[in-house]
Amino acid sequence: MQIKWLQGQIERLRGAWAAGKFPHALLIHEAPGAGGQCLALWAAQLVLCRQPAEAPCGQCPACRHALRRQHPDLALLGPIEEATQIRIEQVRELSADLALTAHQGGYKVGIVSPADSMNRFAANALLKTLEEPPPRTLLALVVTQPSRLPPTILSRCQRVTVRAPTREQALEWLRATRGEADWEAVLAVLGEAPLLAAQVDPAVVVETARETRRDLAQAEAGEADPVALAERWARSEPKVRLACFENWLTERIRDRLLLRRQTAEMRAGAHSGGAGRLNIRDWFELLDAVRELKSSFDAPINRSMAIETLLRRMAMDRAA
């Protein structure tokens, strides 16, 4: 495990294992893209390793197979194909698998990620396994929004928090993992989420961000067609564009608040610098709407129409 910002969590779990106090269920609460699933896989290697004194040794067949997600006693559960939720049938299958004797006579491990995508029926089905776990089993639930899980599940898991790394840590890891690129610009768009950044083409993100900021400036000035713009965004890198939109709005709000403190005109709610008729409350409401769309973007919605609605809220009618 070469992710430096996870070393604290790793050492605590290693200590619990050595003391014979390892939990049967982990709730890994991660900042998006901070490596929660990597930590879950490390925990799987720990309990499946065939070299107990060195666990996880990283060299035995069990460690290597677990790392490749191919171990017969390791099950990974997530939304299937285009689905946005983990369904009850998947959880029942996982629970049945965990109840079987391990192929290699040791632990059975289930990793559910993102566990906060379970619907309530699936969550209730998993609760039965958490209440009466089979011997020598480990359940690792990886979440970014634990509040979406029932309190009964949260109370039966040992929580491990994975915070976002520093910018320096993220850049160092990305360069070592993916090589040299404009990772600074990528993280400026995606936030301190190196595991997400590692999955993208940095050149595409940088160019998409440049284009999106130009689009937003035109939309704010009333010089862009919201329909055409929304259709283009929905077809090409929509998640990156929404991240850029969120960042752009955050900058506008920050600048607005600074100006508001400096001048009486700002305190009265006026806005200079070409921000149209939106007042500060409008900006915050628009930012919330963008974030809500980001969080539900994988749901079966009309993406183009949803983006168009946001753009129209920003591009106020200047003739009014």
Answer whether 159's CB lies under 8 Å from 29's CB.
yes
Buried b (16+ CB within 10 A) or exposed e, 187-202: bbbbbbbbbbbbebeb
Rounded Cα–Cα distance for residues 201 and 208 (Å): 11
Beta-strand relationship, 108-112 and 74-77: parallel
- The domain ranges of the chain are 4-163, 201-314
Say what angle helices 238-262 and 303-314 make with each other, to 10 degrees: 20
User: What does pLDDT average to over the chain?
Assistant: 89
Mean pLDDT of 267-275: 48
> What pLDDT shows up at residue 269?
52
Question: Would you say domain 4-163 falls under CATH 3.40.50.300?
Answer: yes
pLDDT in tens, 48-102: 999 988 999 999 999 999 999 999 999 999 998 777 889 999 999 999 999 999 8
pLDDT in tens, 273-314: 444 445 778 889 999 999 999 887 777 788 899 999 999 888
Other beta carbons less than 10 A from residue 23's beta carbon = 19
Query: Which strands sit side by side in the sheet containing 74-77, from one edge to the other?
Result: 74-77, 108-112, 137-143, 25-30, 158-162
